[in-house]
């Protein structure tokens, strides 16, 4: 009797690639989902107001020096690494749920922004990036003339 090795995440990855091909034909290029379990991805909130786009990222356990923020056109990229502290040899772990390692997150912004006016602040594990919109991207009211 031959043993069959089933790799559910490998099969899930194959399924995902096939679904990506279907969606790419219809919608164009889509972001990739990392099913390898090799890293972690910070959660983001992207908010648009009349004058700016605000991106907030949850980055617990990191410091500002661990982060790299870049912008190219309307694409914002966040990179960094959360390092695991050295373990003691006499420790016995009962539960390990925290994620460590490098991450990279790239998002398309909903509007053109003024790259030279971007500000970033990091407080209590939350990175807040304020991206002022270009004048052309700001909404303008159009008055209606009554005849």
Tell me what pLDDT residue 48 has: 94
Assigned CATH topology for domain 39-84+100-138: Immunoglobulin-like (2.60.40)
Tell me what pLDDT residue 6 has: 59
Q: Is the dihedral of CA 110, 113, 117, 118 positive or negative?
A: positive
- Give the predicted TM-score (pTM) of the model: 0.65
Q: Which residues contact 131 (CB under 8 A, 6 or more apart)?
A: 52, 53, 54, 55, 71, 76, 109, 113, 114, 117, 118
Q: Where are the chain's structural domains?
A: 8-34, 39-84+100-138
Q: Would you write out the chain's pLDDT as a tens digit for each of its 147 residues?
A: 555 555 666 667 777 778 777 877 776 654 444 444 456 788 999 999 999 999 999 998 888 998 999 999 889 999 998 887 766 667 777 777 777 788 899 999 999 999 999 999 999 999 999 999 998 877 777 889 898
The candidate with the shortest Cα–Cα distance to 70, out of 29, 38, 94, 104, is: 104
């Amino acid at each position: 009797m031959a043993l069959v090795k089933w790799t559910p995440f490998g099969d899930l990855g194959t399924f995902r690639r096939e679904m990506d091909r279907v969606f790419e034909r219809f919608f164009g290029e889509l972001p990739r989902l990392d099913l390898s379990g090799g890293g972690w991805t910070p959660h983001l909130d992207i908010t648009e107001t009349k004058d700016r786009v605000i991106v907030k990222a949850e980055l617990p356990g990191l410091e500002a020096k661990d982060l790299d923020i870049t912008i190219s056109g309307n694409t914002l990229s966040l990179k960094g690494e959360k390092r695991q502290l050295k373990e003691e040899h006499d420790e016995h772990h009962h539960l390990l749920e925290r994620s460590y390692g490098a991450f990279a997150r790239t998002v398309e912004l909903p509007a053109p922004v003024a790259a030279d006016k971007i500000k970033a602040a990091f407080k209590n594990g939350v990175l807040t990036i304020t991206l002022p919109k270009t004048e052309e991207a700001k909404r303008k009211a159009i008055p209606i003339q009554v005849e």
